[in-house]
Each structure stands twice: as C-alpha cells, then as structure tokens.
Amino acid sequence: MLSFTVLQAQVNSLMPAPQKVIETKAKFRVSNLFSVESSSLTNSRVESYLNNILFRIDGRTGIGISKEQTYNGKGQVNIQYDQVAKLALGADESYKLKITAQAVNITSANDIGAIRGLETLLQLLSSDEDGYYFPGVMITDNPRFQWRGLLIDVCRHFFSVETIKRNLDAMAAMKMNVLHLHLSEDQGFRIESKVYPGLHELGSNGKYYTQDDIQSIIQYADNRGIRVIPEFDIPGHATSWFVAYPELASQPGPYSIEKKYGVMNPSFDPTKEITYDFLDKFLGEMSTLFPDQFMHIGGDENNGEDWDNNSEIQSFMKDNNLKDNQALQNYFNQRVSKILEKYDKTMVGWDEILQPGLPNNIVIQSWRGKEAMINAAKNGYRVMLSNGYYIDLCKPASAHYSNDPLASENNLTPEQRLNILGGEATMWAEMVTEETIDSRIWPRTCAIAERFWSKQDVTDMSDMYRRLDINSVRMEEIGLLHIKNQEMMMRRLTSGADISSLKILIDASEPLKIYSRHHQGVTYSTDMAFTRLADIAIPDPQSVRKFNSMVESYLASNSEKDKQNIIEQLKVWGNNHDEFQDLAKSAPILRDALPISKSLSKCALICLEFMRLEENSRTDSDTKQINSLFSEAKKPCMETELMVITAMEKLLQIKFD
C-alpha cells in the first residue's frame, strides 16, 4: 500500500517529465460528483480511455466516481480536441493541461494528445487531510522523439494476448507509442497464416496468435495511441519457417523447431524465385493484417554458413558478381524491399541491412551502437536506437537513462538530426517467461520512456529513481505483475513455507548482467523452467539501491542516522543465514544458494563489527582474510550476484585506509 506521504502532492512525481510545468496553489477536489465534458467527436479513443482513467481514479479513491459525460459546457473535466488522428509516425501527441480549483481542462490537436494528457492527470491525483484532489498546474507537453518503442520477442518464449495487453497499458501510462512484435525466430513462428498454414501449424508447437488475436491486439493498442509493427526475421533466424517449407532453405533439411539459443545456420535461399514468390504472398497477407506503414524484416546475424556450403548458391554469386555473403544478402534485401513497396509498406531492419542500393526511405534499427546509427543518419536514412536499451541484459535503469539517442557530440546537421526518430527498448526472451516478463521490462523501461519523451536536460539520476519507485507501484493498478509475482515464485519454491529468509537474500541480489548467465555451466533451452534464484531476483532492485545510497550518504556526511540505518540492515543480513539454512533443508533447490547466503552473512557481520569499533584494530592478517572473503562473495552463485558487497567494501576501506 502506498504511504500517506507518497500520496501527497504529486506534481514532482510525473514520469515522463513534461516539457513545461507551472504550479499554482489551487486544488481541484475530487468527489463522486465528478463530471466530464468531451469534444463532440464520437467513436474516438478518448471515450474508452477516459473510462479507463476514471476506473483507475475510483480504484485509488474508492469514492464511486460518476462516469457521466456531458455536452452542455458544465463538466468539471473538459476535454477538447480538434480531430481523431490517424495513428502514424509523426502524429501530434502534444497537449495542454490546466487545473484550477473549479475545473480541469485538457486541450489538444487530436485525440491522441488528449489521452496523453489524461495519463498525466491520473499521475497528479493527490491527497491531504481533506481528501483527494488534483493540484493546480498549467502543463504544456509534447514528446521529444516520434518513435518511442518496446520490442517484445514472443518467439523464444511465447506470451499470451493478456500479457501483451497489460504491457500495452503500461506503455500507454509511460506515453510510449510503438509495440514491436518479434514474430518469427528459430524457436518458433508465432502468427497464423491462412495462405501458408504450415508456418503456424508446424512451426509453433501450438503457441501462436490467431489473426483474430492480432486484430484484437492492434485495436487495443490503437485505443491507446500505440502502433503495432511486426517483425518477420529473414533471411537468418529462420528455422521455424523451414519446418513446413524446407524447399525455401539453403540446405535440404529436414528441420525442426530449435530449442537452444544462439546464432543458427538455417537461412533462406536467396537465389530461388520460389523464395520471393512465397514471401510475396506471405507479406501481402500480413500487410492486410497490420495497418501500420512499417514492416520489420530483421536481417541480423545471418552467419552465411549454409550459403557457403551450397554449390548452387556459390555459382549464383559468381554469375551475378556478388563478391561475398553481404552482397548476396543485399540482393535479397532489395528484392524484399520491392515486395514491401508493392504493398505500400516501408521496410525496417537491423544495422546489417544497410547496404548500397536500398532506398533511403527505409528505417534502420541500430543494435550495434551510436556510431552506426549516426553514420546512417548522415547518409540520409531514418534511424532509431536500441543499443543501450537492451533490457534483457538486466542493467540498471541508470545505464539506460544516461543513454541518449541524440547526444550533443554527434556532429549532425539540423537536417540530419531529424533522421533520428527515437528508439526502442528490446525485450529478448531467451530467459523470460510469462511469470517474469513484467519484472524484466518494468519499472526500468519507465526511465527509457522518459529519455524518449522528456527534454534532453532532464538527467537527474537520483530524482529519476525517486519517481521510478513511485510509478512502479502505481503501475500495479493496470495489472502488471512485476512486484507481486516475485513473492509468489518464492512461495512455490518453498512449498508455502515462511519465505522471509529467502526474500532477504533475494533483495540483496540481482540476476547476472549482460549475457554472463549463459556461461555459468547451464545449457539453457526453451524446455527449461525458469524458476531459479536468478529468475526471482530482479534487475536494479530498490533494496540494493537504498543500501548503496545510505552508504554513500554516510561516507559523505558521517551522519549518525545513516550509520544506525546501515547497522540495522547489516544485522538483518548477518543473522539471516541460520534461518535460510533451515529453509533449504525442506527446499532442495535452495541448497545451491547456501554459499551466497553464507557469504552475505559473513560480510555483513564483518562490516557490523567494524562499524561498531571506535578505532582501527584490523591486522594485516585480518585484511588478507577479509579481502579473500569479499572476493569470494562477489562470485556468481545460481546465476545471481550479491550487489551489496561493493558498498560493504567501501565502508571498510573508508574507515581503515
């Protein structure tokens, strides 16, 4: 439950931070007599979105808000916009929000701007001793970037329609506007094709979206001002295509759905005309299903081995003066681009597709880095950045927040800067399941959403984290499971036993970052149950940040309050191992975590002892033993790492060095 102090005036908790905010002392009181007047335009996004907002306000206040809408100029909340927008790149999302003691006014050019303003209004809901209110403000707001996306890989692990929709709600809450669905991969083909039914019938293990599902997702997203862009990864990452249609591949097969992860050899044969006939019919079908202008073809990580080992492909390359596999893939991409043009679609692809001969209306999604992105922008291509926003790497929100698509040192002309559309957070799903996807996306993606929306100079890291923690809790009301699923997973591992000692250990830990989890002796596959400590632990946990902050504050100020808070936390960790040992006796899966639990306890007790000493009494022998213990504590255990050890070391070093 939110504390009273968090529920007080919420002007400084807005996320993403608006472009301009002027505060007044007015308070618009919220009662069950709430009435709304909206623009006379009907059948728009605003009506359904407004009902959602009112429901969420009611959920926070419990006062039984009326859902009445009026058209007589007497509404307390007035929403005015000029038109229903076509959902497309560059749609106007600006709005103005004015709150006085008498009324709330949201004005915008179109209904998308209006729903962005409604989300800001909801974040402003505040309370005091007299009840609930909206604080007086005048807000003028618009996004910094046009393209503010989230990629969800539904291939390596499949996610239900319900999961996609609740994440769309979270995206809307953070004013993101593109859902990028990665729909084909070595591990699965995830969409129904009526033209080539073998794709989903044989390439999905029965886990795919029907076309009705997709239409439902698209409509749900549209109502929230979010575009849906499909990705069909070709010519590589393509095993699942060939399970039913091996004749399209560069090697004869047979093929089966891949269960392991990595860069695989199977690739489309770009020399066969049947390849392009097939893709023409398939992409034509998908073009009628997905209304957005853009369609993503992937194009990344094609290792070319199956091309190298095919004599007919090698002869084709020689006959057509294609000097290497890159040139062959460029030939393939040009053919595919013309197919997409036929269906009025614009091609999007990863860095690898950018080669001579492709039209410069395509969009490059950069995973390689800013240099590649900037070079593409200089050459006239529209680009978006994903390098630095790979949220599956479990990096802290601070790392993503400090990554700006338009850093000041980019040496781009004003015209070239316009080619940088924005960026996308990427949720690759090798080690993500229905139970953990929310905790891997949120709340860290809130920081990315702010980087895409707010001014470039909104960079205060501590303030970002303050607002991130507030909005993380708020987002539970839209159904996110990023908080509640963690304790559920702990209870399952312990068969309902007291999880207190496990939670203490988990709260001091994080899953391994980047791709180091793949190198801990476990071979991961789609068949595995991802229910280990590394799956329960979350990236960038508030508990670790809080302890690290206390240590930094104490070292800077020698505050007695900070010292006592640190001591109390060290006591908790120091005394936890005995209880955890008892729990592990009845939960065998936890026994592998005994070393990390013991390390946490020992390190905490050493820090506790020295925190209590008035003078340094540490001998050289003590120092050697402590260094050995802390080095051991930093080693991964069950694919997790103790993220509080570095802060503990700082305590010891500053006190005795």
Active site residues: 301
Structure tokens at 606: 């050493």
Beta-strand pair 95-99/104-110: antiparallel
Contacts of 210 by beta carbon, 8 Å cutoff, 6+ apart: 192
Q: Report, in this order, helix, strand and coil percent for the chain, each rounded to 5.
A: 45, 15, 40
Q: How far apart are CA 331 and CA 338, in angstroms?
A: 11
CA separation for the pair 612, 600 (Å, rounded): 18
Which residue, 408, 430, 402, is CA-closest to 420? 408
Instruction: Tally Cβ neighbours within 10 Å of residue 224.
Output: 25
C-alpha–C-alpha distance, residues 73 and 397, integer Å = 44
For residue 247, what are its two tokens? 């004749």
Pairing of strands 346-350, 363-366: parallel
Distance CA 374, CA 597 (A): 46
**Three-state SS sequence of 287-352:** HHHCCCCEEECCCCCCCCHHHHCCHHHHHHHHHCCCCCHHHHHHHHHHHHHHHHHHCCCEEEEEHH
**CA atoms of 167 and 438, how far apart (whole Å):** 8
Which residues, other chains included, contact 564 with Cβ-Cβ below 8 Å and sequence gap of 6+?
none
